[in-house]
Each structure stands twice: as structure tokens, then as C-alpha cells.
Amino acid sequence: MGIVYKCFKLFFINLSMNIIELDKKYIAHTYQRFNIVIERGKGAYVWDEEGKRYIDCVAGVAVNNVGHCNSYVVREIKKQAEKLIHSSNWFYSKQQVIFAELLTKISSLDKVFFCNSGTEAVEAAIKLARKFTKKKEIIGMEGAFHGRTMGALSLTWNKKYREAYSPLLPYVKWVPWNNAEEVERKITEKTAGIIIEPIQIEGGGVRIPSKNYLKELREICDKKRILLIFDEVQTGFGRTGKMFAFEWWGVLPDILCVAKGIAGGFPMGAMIAKEEVMNSFEPGDHGSTFGGNPLACSAGIASVNFILKNKLAESSETIGKYFIEELKKIKSPMIKEIRGMGLLVGVELKEDARKYCELLLKKRVLTTPLRNVIRFVPPLVITHKQINCVVKAIKEIL
């Protein structure tokens, strides 16, 4: 009683002048934002509120693979929004089965659980691995990043993210990167599975596995009858030059976690698994109110179809190769190493990269730092001409 909720319309009209101040006042301080307010986007470009244009090599952190406001995806979202935005997983949904079939076709796996983010896909994978194997222990990689909720956080390596929130999940073991023998040694009769990002990005600064590592893990998992879980939340949907990064090594996981680039910027995630494994989930074992709602599925169907039809994985490979070639021509004492696959590229510097991302921002190129690595994950629709502009900007700041 007594509280009157007013319409704050007038207040919002004045907002644009102080967005950064108001952000500090009203938003949890969990992000180290760059000083720019993004207002709109198209393809690989975004514009700030003053109308300044930037080439976006962040793409919402490897999310906008089909480009900002992709016309086809926007049209499909609009169509679905006018028909049905949300129903419930209490009822059947046409969009959900269409998208699930599409995801199984492109992943060579069998069944899908829909959720709303990467970390939720990992949570679902942990639960499924325990349910299927009736075992508790998960082996994770040093340097791994799997998300921020308590389960996924338990398998995230960086102590800074974990320390204040213990106790986390027990029965987690760590192994060093690229060391299959150590993995085999760590497996016990309690082990349910191994979780790994085929390419470590957040924790590894774009760390690519040695040629046989994933294959060796697959063999160990088969031998020991435990599950191999791939977290392709960031590497999926054409990012590395294949639809999924695991195709590069010809290794199929038992469980695949995806999100980020799945639905053209619409929040969505999925956990995809082999039939036998997924069938251990029974009604009530897991669920999500929003997971796989018709609007998200329509955005996903449109995005994945756009990627397939326009061969964005292939162009990611060719443009990514060109990008790395051009980067390698830059002579700078600051550069330690340039590495990447497709349009997932890291430029490792000899010092912290944040300052250099700030300088690139001034040159109208958006990037994000991974400690001493500048990460480039542009929309896969980026053109050679736009890449040339990015390379020129990097040359200037280094």
C-alpha cells in the first residue's frame, strides 16, 4: 500500500546524455566496460550514439556470426513474434523440433536439450553425465572456462572467478592442457567424464590443441567407458572455419554444449548428445521455462540456415586465413605470437592487451582483451575490405 508507480517517460528522454553515469548508478559492477554506448549495428559494423561507425571484432563475444541485424533473421524473428513468442515446455512446439533436427544434422549427434545460455548448457551436461554414468567425478582442463553458474564455475579454472564462492562442486579434477597421459592417470572408477573446449579461449587466449590430443581423449574415454564433453559455446556455428571446431580433428563428443552464435544474437543455448546418453534423462530430471521457446528457436533456425546457405563456415576459414597472413606481415616488437582458426584470432602481446584494445577503439575497431592477447571474433560476414581496415588500425597502434 502507498507505493505509486509512475510512468518515467520524461526521465528516460534525458537518459541518453548520461548513460555511462547511470550505468554506474544502477547496474551491478560486474563488467569492465569500454567507454562507448552502442546504439545500432548492421553486418560487421556498429554505430555509437553519436553516430560514429566501428568495425566490430567482438560481435557480442562470438555471438553475431550472421552479422548484426541480419535481414533474414530479423524477418523470421518478426514473423514468429507476431504469431507466438512463448508457450511452455508443457506443450509440443513445431519450431523446437525443426531446430532440434537441424542441430542434430549439423552436429552428427542425436538429441537436444534447449536452454538459454552457455553456462546452462554446461550445467545440463554435468547433470546428464552424472545421470547416465551414475558417477560423480568430472575431469576439467587447466585454463578452462565453462561459465559462471555454480556447476560450470566449478569447472572453470581461473581462481579469481571461483574463490569467493566456495564450496563449489566436489569431485572435480584438473589436468594440464595437451597431456592425454595425465588424463588417463587421473581417471578412477568414480569418473563420469571429461569436459574440454576444443580451443581454449577465455582461459587460454586462443589455445589450440596439439594434432592428436582430442583423438587421444576420445580413445581414452572409449577405453574407460566415460563421456567426452565438448564445450563449443564459443567455437561453434562456423567460428573456426567449420560448423563445429571438433570437425577439424574428426572427433565426435558424447555431449556437445553450444550457445553464443546459435541464434544470431537471440539468447539461447543447447546441450546436444548421443541418443543413448540423452535417453538417461527422464521426465522431471531437468527443465527450463524459457528453453527452446518458439521465438528463440525461430531465430536459431534462421541463423543456422543462413550460415549453411551462405557458406559462412567456409568464408570464415578463407577470410580468417587472409587475416592471419596480413597480421603476420606486421613487424612490431610488441607482438609475441599470432594464432587462430577461421575468424577466431588471437594476437598475443608482450604486455597486458587492454590498453591496446582502448587504442583500437580510438581507431574505430572493437576488440576485447584476454590478458595479454587481443581477441578478434568478428561477424563471419566481415569482408576483405573491412579486414584490411582492421589490419591497418592494428599496424598503426603497434
Contacts of 233 (CB under 8 A, 6+ apart): 118, 121, 122, 146, 147, 197, 257, 258, 259, 260, 269
Q: Is 197 in the site for ligand PLP (CB under 6 A)?
A: yes
Q: With H, G, I as helix, E, B as strand and everything else as coil, classify residue 340.
A: strand
Place of cell 555509437: 48
Cβ atoms within 10 Å of 138's Cβ, excluding its own = 25
Q: Is 147 in the site for ligand PLP (CB under 6 A)?
A: yes
Q: Is 118 in the site for ligand PLP (CB under 6 A)?
A: yes
Q: Is 123 in the site for ligand PLP (CB under 6 A)?
A: no
Cis omega (within 30 of 0) for bond into 267: no
CA 85 vs CA 102, 287, 297, 351: distances in Å:
20, 18, 10, 47
Which one of the spans 207-215, 231-239, 272-280, 331-339 is the region binding ligand PLP (CB under 6 A)?
231-239
The C-alpha atoms of residue 64 and residue 87 are separated, in whole angstroms, by: 26
Nearer Cβ to ligand PLP, position 41 or 203? 203
Nearer Cβ to ligand PLP, position 234 or 386? 234
In the list 145, 177, 230, 323, the residue contacting ligand PLP (rule: CB under 6 A) is: 145
The C-alpha atoms of residue 345 and residue 327 are separated, in whole angstroms, by: 10
Stated length of the chain: 398
Q: Is 233 in the site for ligand PLP (CB under 6 A)?
A: yes
Q: Is 119 in the site for ligand PLP (CB under 6 A)?
A: yes
Contacts of 281 (CB under 8 A, 6+ apart): 113, 128, 131
The C-alpha atoms of residue 394 and residue 346 are separated, in whole angstroms, by: 12
Nearer Cβ to ligand PLP, position 118 or 253? 118
Nearer Cβ to ligand PLP, position 66 or 259? 259
Q: How far is the CB of 219 from ligand PLP (least distance, A)?
A: 23
Q: How far is the CB of 62 from ligand PLP (least distance, A)?
A: 7
CA 269 vs CA 89, 201, 219, 250, 377: distances in Å:
15, 18, 28, 23, 19
Q: How far is the CB of 122 from ligand PLP (least distance, A)?
A: 6
Q: Is 117 in the site for ligand PLP (CB under 6 A)?
A: yes
Nearer Cβ to ligand PLP, position 106 or 233? 233
The C-alpha atoms of residue 25 and residue 272 are separated, in whole angstroms, by: 40
Q: Is 146 in the site for ligand PLP (CB under 6 A)?
A: yes
Which one of the spans 91-99, 112-120, 183-191, 239-247 is the region binding ligand PLP (CB under 6 A)?
112-120
Positions marked active-site: 145, 231, 260
**206 closest CA partner among 176, 240, 237, 173:** 240
Which one of the spans 11-19, 74-82, 142-150, 204-212 is the region binding ligand PLP (CB under 6 A)?
142-150
Q: How far is the CB of 202 from ligand PLP (least distance, A)?
A: 6
Q: Which residues bind ligand PLP (CB under 6 A)?
A: 117-119, 122, 145-147, 197, 201-202, 231, 233-234, 259-260
